[in-house]
Amino acid sequence: MHVLCCGGTGCHASASAQIIENFKRILAEKGLQDEVQVIQTGCFGFCEKGPIVKIMPDNTFYTQVKPEDVEKIVNEHIIKGRKVTDLLYMDPENQEHVSDSKHMGFYRKQLRIALRNCGFVNPENIDECIARGGYEGLGKCLTEMTPQQVIDEVTKSGLRGRGGAGFPTGVKWGLCAKNKCDEMYVICNADEGDPGAFMDRSIMEGDPHSIVEAMAICGYAIGATHGLVYIRAEYPLAIHRLQVAIAQAREYGLLGEDIMGTGFNFDIELRYGAGAFVCGEETALIHSMEGKRGEPTLKPPFPAVSGYMAKPSNVNNVETFANVPIIITKGADWFQTIGSEKSKGTKVFALAGQINNVGLIEVPMGTTLRDIIFEIGGGIKGGRQFKAVQTGGPSGGCLTTKHLDTPIDYDSLVAAGSMMGSGGMVVMDETSCMVAIAKFYLEFTCEESCGKCSPCRVGNKRMLEILEKITDGRGTMEDLQELRNLAAVIKDTALCGLGQTSPNPVLSTLDNFWDEYVEHVVDKKCRAGVCKKLMRYEIDREKCIGCGKCAKNCPAEAISKTNYIAEGHKLPSMEIDPAKCIKCGACMSGCKFNAISVK
Amino acid sequence: MATIKLSESQLNFIKDVCKAHGNKGGEVINVLHKVQGEFGYLPKEVQEVVALELNIPVSRVYGIVSFYSFFTMTPKGEHPISVCLGTACYVRGAEKVLDEIKRQLGINVGDVTPDGKFSLTVLRCVGACGLAPVIEVGDKVYGRMTPDLVKDVIAEYK
C-alpha cells in the first residue's frame, strides 16, 4: 500500500510536510511502516483542494487534508479499509462524494503527457522514475538511432516550443546540429517569469528526471556534451529536486562520461536567474548565464549559430523537453494523433484567478476554452459571471465570452489577438476591471523592460501614463487613439519578443472591452468598482443608525455626524467627506447595517 | 548612504566565495547570490570587494545588482514580508492586502520599519496560485489572505 502526498509548492505551503511526518510517525507507532510506504510526490494539479493525499492501489483521493486528519485516515482507511468520506472531494453539481480522481470533472478531460509522472513518483528517487519508463528514450536513442534519426523523429512529431512562440523543436535542433563545433550547449530555459504561471516549476518539482533525460537526448542529437539549466532563484524546491536528479543520474551512469557504455558524454550544470523577466528571451538568457546584464541582442545571429560563449547552442523550455522522451519511446506517429492540425500534442496550463478549480492542467491542443474553464475549472467562483480569460501573460491578451468555443492552439490564439505564451491562464469575473488589468500588465512590462531599446523603455512608459490618466478619471477619447498609435509603433520597432508583444494586453482589451474604456473616459465610471479614483463611498442616511463604527474605522477621519436623524433611529446619521476619503473601504466592511455603498 | 566597515571575517568570506568560483568575471552572478545569501543585501562596499576579486569594473557589478530584482542594496528587516502581485493574486485582491500591510506598518514597498523588525517587498508569483492571494513572511507562506487577516499575521512576529 502506498500513501502519496503532494509536495509541490502550494501544498507545501499548507503543511504537506507536516502531513507526511504525521503519516510516518503514526504508521510507525502502529508497526505498519513496512506495509505502507509514504511518498512525497510532485504536483497532482488540483491545487485548489490541496494538500492532497492519495492512497494506492485503490486510488482514493483525499482533498484539503490537515495534519490532524492523518490519524483518522490511518485508523479508518489503512487499518479498517473504510474511506474517510468527509475528506473526499465533493462534486459541486450533485453534492456527492467522489473517491477516484478519474471521475472528477477536473481530471476527466485532461490528458497527461508532459505531466505523466507528476504525482505518481517520488521525484527524488531515480528508481521510481526508471520503473515508469524514465531513461528508456535515452537508451533507445543511444543504441538504436543516429543523431539525425532523433532529429527527424522529433521534427516528424510536430512538437513545437512550449515557451510561447511555438517554433518547431525538431527544426531548431536541426539548425543547431548543422553548426558542428567542438563545444556546443544544450540550454534548458527554466526562467518561468510569467506572473500566474507555474507549469515549469511543477514539472521540475514533480518529474525532474524527464528534463535530465531530454537534455541528454538533445545533446546526442545535436552533438553537444554540455547542458545548462537556467533556473529562477525563486524556485528553491525545483532547484533542490533538479540537483538531486542530476546527482542520481550521474551515479547511475546516465550522465557524465561514457553514458550506458556507448561512448557518449554529457553533463548538466545549473545556473541561477536573479529575477529578470526579460531573461526568458533566449539571447538575454544567454547573456545572463555569461554573467552579464540580461539584455537581448538582435537575431540573427541565432543561438544555434552563436549562443553561450559564442558557441552554437540550443535553447528549449522545460515543458518542451518534458515531451521529448515519450516521443522517442512511443514514436512520432503516436504523438501526431494528439492535438489539432498544426499544433500537436498537449499543453499544460496553470489555471488561476476567479475560478473554482485552481490548478495545473494538461489538455490536448484544440480543447476549447469552455471545456477548460467550465468543465475542468468548474466554472467561476461564487457563481458569478465569466468575463475574460487572460492567456500568454504580459505578452498575451484577454479573451472574452465570444472566444469560449475557439479550439485553442498556437495559431487560433494568435488569430484571436492573444497568444499561447508559456501557459498561464488567469480567469476573471465581473469584479475585474479590464482597464486596470491592462494597466497591471503594463506596469509589469515597464518594471521588467531592460531599457536597451527606446520603443519598449519609453513607449510602454507613455502608454502606462495614459492608462493611469484613464483610471484616474482624466482620460479623453483622443487618449484611446493615442494608445493604439503607440502600440503599433512599439510592436513594429522593439528589439526583442518582450517589447514586441508588450502592447498586446492593451490592444486586446481595447478590442474586446471598448465599452469599458469609454465608460472610464466619458462617464468617469468603473463598473467593476476597482479604479479607486472613480469610486465614491456613500452612507444611506435612512439606514444609518449613527453608531459611529465607520468613523472609528476610518483611517483618514473622513466620516462625521450629520444633524439628520432618520425615522425610528435615536442617533444622527453619519456622512463621508469625499475630499478626505481615501477609498479604503474600511467603513463599508465594518458596517453591520449595509448602510454604506460604492457608487 | 552611510559607509560600512567590513570586518576581517566578512572580507574573507567574500574572497573565499570569489576564489571558489575561480575569480572569474563570468561567475559574478553566482558570486553575488552566495554573498547576498550571507549578508542579506549587497551594499556598495561589498560590491567593491567583489569587483576587485573578480577583476572587473565596479560599474559592471553595480550594473548587475541594479538590473536584477533579486539583488538588493538595502538591508531587509528581521521579518521580511513579501506580497505576491502575480496576476492570480492580483485578481483575487492582493492589492487590498498590500495596502493594509502598508497602513499597519506605516511603511512603503522597499522600506524597513524604524525598529528594523519588518521590511516590505512585492514579488511576482511564488507559484502558489491555488492559495491566492499569498504573502510570505520570511520563508513562511500565508495563503488566502484578506485585509482582515493582516493584523493577526503581523501580531505573530511582534
Contact A136, A114 (CB under 8 A): no
State the CATH number of the domain containing residue A263: 3.40.50.11540
pLDDT score of B1: 53
Whole-angstrom Cα distance, residue A425 to residue A391? 5
Helix or strand holding residue B102 (H, E): helix B94-105
Which of A41, A73, A105 terminates a domain? The answer is A105
Whole-angstrom Cα distance, residue A494 to residue A520? 29
Measured between beta carbons, the chain B residues lying within 8 angstroms of A585 are 96
The three cell numbers locating residue A29: 507507532
pLDDT score of B2: 63
Measured between beta carbons, the chain B residues lying within 8 angstroms of A291 are 24-30, 64
Type of residue at A218: C
Q: Are residues A221 and A360 in the same domain?
A: no
Whole-angstrom Cα distance, residue A241 to residue A238? 5
**CB-CB neighbours of A558 under 10 Å:** 20
Whole-angstrom Cα distance, residue A447 to residue A470? 20
Measured between beta carbons, the chain B residues lying within 8 angstroms of A10 are 127-131, 143
Distance from CA of A169 to the nearest CA of B (A): 27
Q: Are residues A157 and A256 in the same domain?
A: yes
Pairwise CB contact (< 8 Å): A47 & B128: yes
Task: Tell me the pLDDT tens digit for each residue of A416-450.
Answer: 888 888 888 999 999 999 999 999 999 999 999 99
CA distances to A115, A126, A439, A516 from A141, in Å: 22, 20, 48, 55
Closest-CA residue to A197 (of A305, A355, A347, A349): A349
Pairwise CB contact (< 8 Å): A50 & B90: no
Helix or strand holding residue B28 (H, E): helix B28-39
CA distances to A360, B10, B86 from B128, in Å: 11, 36, 10
State the CATH number of the domain containing residue A38: 3.40.30.10
Give strand pairing partners of A164: none
Pairwise CB contact (< 8 Å): A352 & B32: no
Q: Are residues A161 and A264 in the same domain?
A: yes
Measured between beta carbons, the chain A residues lying within 8 angstroms of B126 are 9, 234
Distance from CA of A438 to the nearest CA of B (A): 11
Q: Are residues A487 and A577 in the same domain?
A: no
Please tell me the total count of domains within chain A: 5
Q: Are residues A463 and A499 in the same domain?
A: yes
| Helical segments of A392-536, H only | 410-415, 434-448, 454, 460-471, 477-493, 497-501, 504-512, 514-518
Longest Cα–Cα distance in chain A: 93
Best mutation site among B33, B85, B91, B95 for testing chain A: the one with the most A CBs within 10 Å? B91
Distance from CA of A436 to the nearest CA of B (A): 10
B105 Cβ contact partners less than 8 Å away, ≥ 6 residues apart: B81, B113, B118, B120, B154
CA distances to A120, A130, A167, A291, A315 from A188, in Å: 24, 22, 15, 17, 6
Whole-angstrom Cα distance, residue A394 to residue A438? 9
Type of residue at A519: E
Distance from CA of A3 to the nearest CA of B (A): 22
Measured between beta carbons, the chain B residues lying within 8 angstroms of A235 are 127
For residue A447, what is the nearest residue in chain B, using CA coordinates?
Answer: B69
Q: What residues in chain B have their Cβ under 8 A from chain A's Cβ atoms?
A: 24-30, 32-33, 63-64, 67-71, 85-92, 96, 99, 103, 123-132, 134, 141, 143, 147-148
Q: Is the preceding omega at residue A578 within 30 degrees of 0, hence cis?
A: no
State the CATH number of the domain containing residue A359: 3.10.20.600
Task: Tell me the pLDDT tens digit for each residue of B18-57.
Answer: 999 999 999 999 999 999 999 989 999 999 999 999 999 9
Q: Are residues A309 and A213 in the same domain?
A: yes
pLDDT score of A236: 84
Long-range interactions of A260-266: CB distance < 8 A, separation 24+:
A260/A138, A260/A139, A260/A142, A260/A143, A262/A142, A262/A143, A264/A142, A264/A219, A264/A220, A265/A225, A266/A215, A266/A216, A266/A219, A266/A220, A266/A224, A266/A225, A266/A226, A266/A227
Measured between beta carbons, the chain A residues lying within 8 angstroms of B69 are 274-276, 447
- Kindly tell me the burial class for residue B37, based on how many C-beta atoms sit within 10 Å of its own C-beta (0-12, 13-18, 19 or more): exposed
Measured between beta carbons, the chain B residues lying within 8 angstroms of A350 are 129
The three cell numbers locating residue A503: 502592447
pLDDT score of A502: 94
For residue B30, what is the nearest residue in chain A, using CA coordinates?
Answer: A272
Q: Is residue A204 part of a domain?
A: yes
Q: Is residue A530 part of a domain?
A: no
Q: Is residue A74 part of a domain?
A: yes
Task: Name the strands in the sheet holding B79-84, side by side, starting at the edge strand that comes first in the sequence.
Answer: B118-123, B79-84, B135-137, B140-142
Task: Tell me the pLDDT tens digit for each residue of A360-379.
Answer: 999 999 999 999 999 999 99
For residue B128, what is the nearest residue in chain A, using CA coordinates?
Answer: A10
Pairwise CB contact (< 8 Å): B125 & A276: no
Pairwise CB contact (< 8 Å): B125 & A272: no
Measured between beta carbons, the chain A residues lying within 8 angstroms of B30 are 271-272, 291
Pairwise CB contact (< 8 Å): B69 & A48: no
**In percent, how much of chain B has pLDDT > 70?**
99
Q: Are residues A143 and A289 in the same domain?
A: yes
Q: Are residues A424 and A440 in the same domain?
A: no
Closest-CA residue to A460 (of A501, A405, A402): A501
Measured between beta carbons, the chain B residues lying within 8 angstroms of A272 are 29-30, 33
CB pairs under 8 A between A and B: 129
For residue A271, what is the nearest residue in chain B, using CA coordinates?
Answer: B30
Closest-CA residue to A20 (of A94, A114, A101, A124): A124
Torsion of CA A152, A157, A160, A161, to 10 degrees: -70
Pairwise CB contact (< 8 Å): A352 & B132: yes
For residue B142, what is the nearest residue in chain A, using CA coordinates?
Answer: A13
Q: Are residues A541 and A518 in the same domain?
A: no
Helix or strand holding residue A189 (H, E): strand A185-190
pLDDT score of B131: 86
Whole-angstrom Cα distance, residue A561 to residue B69? 48
Pairwise CB contact (< 8 Å): B130 & A359: yes
- Complete domains list, chain B, with CATH: 8-67 (1.10.10), 79-155 (3.40.30.10)
For residue B96, what is the nearest residue in chain A, using CA coordinates?
Answer: A584
Distance from CA of A229 to the nearest CA of B (A): 14
- Structural domain including A374 reads 346-429
Helix or strand holding residue A361 (H, E): strand A359-364
In chain B, which stretches have pLDDT less than 50? none
Whole-angstrom Cα distance, residue A285 to residue A451? 16
For residue B98, what is the nearest residue in chain A, using CA coordinates?
Answer: A584
Pairwise CB contact (< 8 Å): B67 & A294: yes
State the CATH number of the domain containing residue A468: 1.20.1440.230
Nearest to B88 among A196, A272, A294 (CB): A196
Q: Is residue A419 part of a domain?
A: yes
Distance from CA of A145 to the nearest CA of B (A): 37
Task: Tell me the pLDDT tens digit for each residue of A573-598.
Answer: 999 998 888 888 889 888 999 999 88
Pairwise CB contact (< 8 Å): B143 & A14: yes
How would you label B91-129 residue by residue, b for 16+ Cβ within 10 Å and e otherwise? Answer: bbebbbbbbbbbeebebeeebbbeeeebbbbbbbbbbbb
Type of residue at A83: K
Pairwise CB contact (< 8 Å): A195 & B71: no
Contact A274, B33 (CB under 8 A): yes
The three cell numbers locating residue B2: 552611510
Q: Are residues A87 and A213 in the same domain?
A: no
Which of A481, A501, A523 terminates a domain? The answer is A523
Q: Is residue A121 part of a domain?
A: no
Q: Are residues A175 and A232 in the same domain?
A: yes
Pairwise CB contact (< 8 Å): B91 & A432: yes
Q: Is residue A281 part of a domain?
A: yes
Whole-angstrom Cα distance, residue A499 to residue A286? 18
Closest-CA residue to A501 (of A411, A437, A421): A421
Closest-CA residue to A410 (of A196, A161, A154): A161
In chain A, which stretches have pLDDT less than 70? none
Q: Is residue A340 part of a domain?
A: no
Measured between beta carbons, the chain B residues lying within 8 angstroms of A196 are 86-89, 125, 129
Q: Is residue A119 part of a domain?
A: no
pLDDT score of A42: 85
Which of A490, A523, A556 terminates a domain? The answer is A523
pLDDT score of A26: 95
Q: Are residues A258 and A378 in the same domain?
A: no
Whole-angstrom Cα distance, residue A120 to residue A136? 17
Pairwise CB contact (< 8 Å): B29 & A350: no
Task: Tell me the pLDDT tens digit for each residue of A11-47.
Answer: 888 888 999 999 999 999 999 999 999 988 888 889 8
Task: Tell me the pLDDT tens digit for each residue of A316-339.
Answer: 999 999 999 999 999 999 999 999
For residue B71, what is the nearest residue in chain A, using CA coordinates?
Answer: A274
Contact A527, A520 (CB under 8 A): no
